[in-house]
């Protein structure tokens, strides 16, 4: 190394013509710059030239974007997948990241997990099939409807009931951070008529009388909030609460519920799709949830 | 060299234009390339060390940065704030051309802290910008064949597939 310094000959003739071009920067240096950008920018800039593409594949860049416990998340993502025989260790870290950004069903198809592309934040969706709904087996109250408007292709529809109680829980190791919990709900039943989306509001009633109650329980505490359901014909993410994960090694048990048990009035015409949990850094929640 | 403590020893560096810089050996330690040269020469360096890839403007800036950071680190209160303010001014004072030239010099001389700072600064400039902008900034040309570009588009499809713009 030392001998290079004094014996290095400037082949470009006089020093003045050696105008520094950043294209001369070694790939390793480019990779260091890329690490400060978000994954989408990194993939976009891979198009610049071959050196940039090479730099964009550096494992250390993607290790820094992956959640701390990405191996655990990978296990969940591949749980239901018998065909995926590839070994995770063989994949470059960028490919691991790409794979985890693809929504994967687990727990017998009742839950789905993916990483938000831009931030690497963990997102979870829990199907209505995995929720405990009081009276779900009674056809007078509830029915299951197949629909393309749910990522699980099925939702629970409430005709009418006095005692509305929807609850569920999940055990998971969340990367450190703050997470929002939402219930994805819609007033009214939607269907397609002659190719157009139509909303049937015949059963909607009771929501303007009293609000519904959302509860969220973790080892860190218990949060209660109230909200009036509205916006007929539109899927809305109702915020049930926020929790914080301190350590990705902690197996956290999150419990959430939606209730309206005031028995002086009935309510109905409600679609329950799922519960959605995502890292607070994920943009706007709504946009990233829709397929 | 007996009797002279390390912090007092001066190293002389020579830039492309032939300008000489006297640098304290404690500062020279941060120029890892230079330090390696000194180590290899068994500490017996008296003549100016030529830096054939480094221009006066860049070396001057680098030494400025290092001198200031050493000053901040030598125990003044609130050094972090002052250092952050200095860094911000330092970055702002350079044009894109100068920034690029400085990265090349800092990379050649292997100045770790400065390089990290410059990398972050460049990343801030190119973040969320178009491919053309970044191409211009770096002064590089697209060396892909159309087939390679197609392959690359498929490779990165996962990143752009279904991304909603807020």
Tens of pLDDT along A220-233? 899 999 999 999 99
Neighbours of A117 (CB within 10 A): 25
Mean pLDDT of A104-125: 95
The string of DSSP letters for A149-174 reads TSTTSEEEEE--BS-EEEEEEEEE-P
d(CA B29, CA B15): 18
A25 Cβ under 8 Å from any chain B Cβ: yes
Query: CA of A51: how far to CAs of A28, A47, B131, B166, in Å?
Result: 9, 10, 14, 31
**The pLDDT of residue A5 is above 80:** no
CA distance B69 to chain A (A): 22
* Residue contact A53–B152, C-beta within 8 A: yes
Whether pLDDT at A135 is above 50: yes
Q: Please tell me if residue A48 touches chain B, with a CB cutoff of 8 Å.
A: yes
Q: What CA–CA distance (Å, rounded) separates A227 from A238?
A: 8
B33 touches chain A (CB under 8 A): yes
CB within 8 Å of A57: residues ≥ 6 apart? A46, A92, A94
How many whole angstroms separate alpha carbon B134 and alpha carbon B125?
A: 9
**% pLDDT > 70, chain B:** 89
Nearest chain B alpha carbon to A44: B131
Residue range B99-141, pLDDT digits in tens: 888 988 998 999 999 999 999 999 999 999 999 999 888 888 8
In chain A, % of residues over pLDDT 90 = 75
Lowest mean pLDDT among A24-28, A285-289, B68-72, B147-151: A285-289
User: Nearest CA to CA, how far is B12 from chain A (Å)?
Assistant: 13
Asked whether the predicted pLDDT for residue A86 surpasses 70, the reply is: no
pLDDT band, residue A287 (cuts 50/70/90): very low
pLDDT at residue A21 is higher than 60? no
Overall average pLDDT of the A261-277 stretch: 96
* φ/ψ bin of A284: left (φ > 0), alpha (ψ from -120 to 50), beta (otherwise): left
Q: How confident is the model at residue A82 (pLDDT cuts 50, 70, 90)?
A: low
Share of chain A above pLDDT 70, in %: 86
Assess whether pLDDT exceeds 50 at residue A6: no
For strands A104-106 and A111-115, give the pairing.
Answer: antiparallel
* Helix, strand, coil in percent for chain B, rounding step 5: 60, 5, 35
Average pLDDT over residues B15-40: 91
Is the pLDDT at A285 greater than 90? The verdict is no
Q: Does B38 touch chain A (CB under 8 A)?
A: yes
Instruction: Considering only the beta carbons, identify the residue of A41, A51, A53 that sits closest to B127.
Output: A41
> Could you give the 3-state DSSP secondary structure of residue A11?
coil
**CB distance A154 to A127 below 8 Å:** yes
DSSP class of residue B26 equals: H
Query: Closest-CA residue in chain A for B39?
Result: A2
Residue B162's pLDDT band, with cuts at 50, 70 and 90, is: low
> How confident is the model at residue B137, as a pLDDT?
86
A44, B40: Cβ pair inside 8 Å? Answer: no
Q: Residue A5 and residue B33: Cβ atoms within 8 Å? A: yes
Residues 262-281 of A with CB under 8 A from B: none
Q: Which residues pair with A239 in a beta bridge?
A: A182
Confidence check: pLDDT of A238 > 70 = yes
Q: What is the mean pLDDT of residues A267-286?
A: 87
Residue A284, pLDDT > 60, answer no
Task: For A28-75, write each residue's pLDDT tens digit.
Answer: 778 889 999 999 999 999 999 888 999 999 999 999 999 999 999 999
Average pLDDT (B142-165) is 82
Residue B82's contacts (CB-CB under 8 Å, 6 or more residues apart) are B72, B76
Is the model's pLDDT at A204 over the cut of 90? Answer: yes
Helix (H, G, I), strand (E, B) or coil at B39: helix
């Amino acid at each position: 190394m030392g001998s290079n310094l004094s014996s290095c000959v400037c082949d470009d003739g006089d020093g003045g013509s050696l105008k520094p071009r950043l294209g001369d920067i070694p790939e390793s240096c480019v990779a260091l710059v890329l690490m400060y950008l978000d994954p989408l920018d990194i993939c976009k800039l891979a198009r610049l030239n071959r050196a940039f593409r090479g730099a964009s594949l550096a494992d250390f860049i993607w290790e820094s974007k992956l959640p701390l416990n990405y191996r655990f998340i990978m296990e969940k993502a591949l749980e239901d997948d018998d065909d995926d025989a590839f070994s995770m260790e063989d994949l470059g870290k960028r490919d691991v990241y790409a794979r985890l950004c693809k929504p994967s069903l687990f727990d017998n198809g009742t839950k789905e997990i993916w990483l938000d592309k831009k931030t690497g934040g963990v997102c979870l969706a829990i199907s209505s099939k995995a929720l405990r709904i009081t009276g779900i087996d009674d056809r007078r109250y509830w029915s299951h409807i197949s629909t393309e408007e749910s990522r699980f292709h099925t939702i629970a529809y409430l005709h009418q009931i006095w005692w509305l109680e929807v609850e569920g829980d999940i055990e998971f190791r969340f990367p450190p951070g703050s997470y929002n919990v939402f219930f994805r709900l819609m007033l009214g039943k939607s269907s397609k008529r002659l190719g157009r989306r139509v909303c049937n509001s015949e059963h909607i009633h009771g929501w303007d009388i009293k609000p519904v109650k959302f509860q969220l329980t973790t080892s860190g505490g218990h949060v209660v909030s109230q909200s009036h359901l509205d916006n007929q014909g539109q899927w809305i993410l109702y915020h049930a609460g926020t929790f914080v994960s301190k350590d990705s090694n902690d197996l956290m048990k999150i419990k959430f519920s939606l209730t309206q048990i005031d028995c002086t009035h009935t309510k109905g015409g409600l679609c329950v799709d799922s519960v959605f949990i995502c890292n607070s850094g994920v943009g706007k929640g709504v946009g990233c949830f829709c397929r | 060299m007996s009797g002279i403590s390390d912090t007092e020893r001066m190293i002389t560096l020579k830039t492309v234009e032939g300008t000489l810089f006297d640098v304290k050996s404690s500062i020279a330690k941060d120029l890892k390339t230079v330090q390696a040269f000194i180590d290899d020469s068994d500490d017996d360096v008296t003549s100016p060390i030529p830096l054939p890839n480094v221009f006066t403007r860049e070396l001057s800036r680098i030494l400025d940065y290092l001198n200031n950071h050493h000053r901040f680190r030598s125990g003044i209160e609130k050094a972090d704030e002052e250092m952050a303010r200095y860094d911000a001014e330092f970055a702002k004072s350079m044009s894109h051309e100068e920034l690029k030239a400085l990265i090349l010099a800092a990379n050649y001389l292997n100045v770790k802290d400065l390089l990290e700072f410059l990398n972050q600064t460049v990343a801030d400039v190119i973040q969320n910008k178009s491919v053309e902008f970044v191409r211009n900034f770096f002064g590089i040309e697209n060396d892909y064949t159309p087939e390679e570009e197609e392959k690359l588009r498929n490779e990165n499809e996962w990143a752009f597939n279904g991304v909603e713009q807020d």
